[in-house]
Amino acid sequence: MELITSKIEADLEEIIRGAFESVKDSLIAENKRINHINIYHKDWIHNSYEKMICMLSDNYNIDAKKIISMGFICSQVNSLNQHFHIDYGGDTETYFIPMIDLDNNNGTEYLEFINKEYNIELFPQLLSMTNLYINREQIISYFDKINISPANYKFKFLNGEKGCMVKMPYYLFHRGQSNKGVQDRVMFQIIMAKTEKASVCSGIQIDDSELDEQTHIIDKLLNSRTVNN
């Protein structure tokens, strides 16, 4: 995870807050699965938030032409753990702006390797592991079988203050953990195309964010839910 800024500008925060108010009733309806709502998608005929996109481009070096979707992702208190995965086959990168403080109880869980180059080298292996494992012990055991030493990696949680901005690179092996905090964790997300084949569902409301994938990935996930639950 890369910290872009510890605090976004007030004007951008105000627009995001206004957008959240327009969708929050649907977003925070009772749901044990991590879920999200899109407010913008490049494939929609009608779109708003041009001012927001200009701010992101001008002030945060975000390429407006590569924005696929923007919206809010929510992990309610005591939500279910996701499986560890790489988003959209590694064809996207995502910027997150949390709307509450993130700590070890509610932040995204991810694997950090000894260096970025090693992580990228392992990308094909990690991609093949997407949606197979739901706890650390399974991953540690698998890594041990393929001679990846625990000295080469560690599990971490995304920590950050409300209103910061972080970038999740395409190769990051991660998951939304069960929210052990005391309030719903909502983050504004900006999904960017990393490759020309990047594809993200253009639906508005996604009740189960793990299922916002291609059919073969969904089938793999549903099988893993049966095995691991």
Element (H, E) at 4: strand 2-5
- pTM value is 0.95
CA–CA separation, 83 vs 86, rounded Å? Answer: 10
Let me know: does 97 contact 188? Beta carbons within 8 Å.
yes
Angle between helices 50-60 and 10-27 (to 10 degrees): 130
68-85 residue pLDDT tens: 999 999 999 999 999 999
The count of other CB atoms within 10 Å of the CB of residue 16 is 20
Other beta carbons within 10 Å of 137:
9
Q: For the chain, which residues score pLDDT lower than 70?
A: none
Class of domain 2-228: mainly beta
Residue spans of the domains in the chain: they are 2-228
Q: What is the pLDDT of residues 27-38, one digit of tens each?
A: 888 899 999 999
